[in-house]
């Protein structure tokens, strides 16, 4: 039992920050990300003695984390809303921080499985096969979810254009 605890502690110390960051990208909220990472790591600890630790622990943790995020999103039922007092009179050019916030907002608007597919493929840089394993679906489903997610992100992040019709 003691070796198991020491092995898990070493893994936790080395990877907990990465798991939390991935959880944040999947859910868009640091507090929820902390809870989800904790939930995933607790589930991994419960199975630590039975895990095949031949370089596959990260893949298993990602799979547990993605499922926890999707389950959490289902329980919540809807996305949080942002309330503002007033719409600004003039749009301002985005700064680097503002652009990052826009990307995070657009990512948060994706359905949970599309968001998970995009984060795992492009943030975690996983191949399609590993993404499919983490999501528990086929490679074709991953490709479809990523394509839909990227399309939604492109539309959400495209510059807003005003269309003037004749006679306006």
Answer whether residue 95 shows pLDDT above 70: no
Instruction: Return the closest-CA partner of residue 120 out of 131, 129, 136.
Output: 131
Distance CA 56, CA 17 (A): 18
**Residue 168, in any domain of the structure:** no
pTM of this prediction? Answer: 0.59
Same domain flag for 46 and 116: no
Q: What is the pLDDT of residues 134-163, one digit of tens each?
A: 889 999 999 999 999 989 988 888 865 444
**Residue 86, in any domain of the structure:** no
Check: CB of residue 3 under 8 Å from CB of residue 49: no
Last residue of a domain, one of 53, 78, 103: 78
pLDDT, residue 39, reads 93
160: Cα within 13 Å, side-chain hemisphere: 6
Distance CA 58, CA 15 (A): 8
Alpha-carbon dihedral angle through residues 113, 119, 125, 126, given to the nearest 10 degrees:
-20
Q: What is the pLDDT of residues 32-82, one digit of tens each?
A: 999 999 999 999 999 888 886 666 888 899 999 999 988 888 777 655 555
Sorted by sequence, the CB contacts under 8 Å of residue 22 that are 6+ apart come out as 37, 62, 65, 119, 123, 124
Instruction: Return the closest-CA partner of residue 137 out of 86, 80, 70, 73.
Output: 70
Domain count, the chain: 2
pLDDT, residue 162, reads 45
Same domain flag for 58 and 115: no
Same domain flag for 6 and 73: yes
b (16+ CB within 10 A) / e for 143-161 = eebbebbbebbeeeeeeee
Same domain flag for 99 and 150: yes
Q: The domain that contains 41 carries what CATH number?
A: 1.10.1740
**Residue 166, in any domain of the structure:** no
Same domain flag for 68 and 120: no
User: Which domain range does residue 74 map to?
Assistant: 1-78
């Amino acid at each position: 039992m003691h070796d198991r605890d020491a092995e898990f502690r070493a893994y936790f110390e080395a990877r907990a920050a990465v798991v939390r960051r991935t959880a944040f990208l999947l859910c868009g909220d640091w507090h929820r990300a902390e809870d989800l990472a904790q939930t995933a790591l607790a589930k991994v600890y419960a199975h630590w003695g039975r895990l095949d630790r031949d370089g596959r622990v990260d893949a298993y943790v990602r799979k547990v984390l993605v499922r926890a995020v999707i389950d959490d999103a289902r329980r919540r039922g809807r996305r949080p809303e942002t309330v503002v007092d007033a719409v600004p009179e003039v749009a301002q050019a985005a700064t680097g921080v503002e652009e990052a916030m826009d990307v995070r907002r657009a990512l948060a608007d994706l359905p949970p499985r599309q968001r998970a597919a995009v984060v795992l493929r492009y943030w975690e840089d996983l191949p399609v096969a590993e993404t499919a394993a983490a999501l528990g679906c086929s490679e074709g489903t991953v490709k479809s979810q990523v394509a839909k997610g990227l399309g939604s992100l492109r539309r959400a992040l495209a510059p807003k254009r005003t269309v003037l019709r004749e006679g306006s």
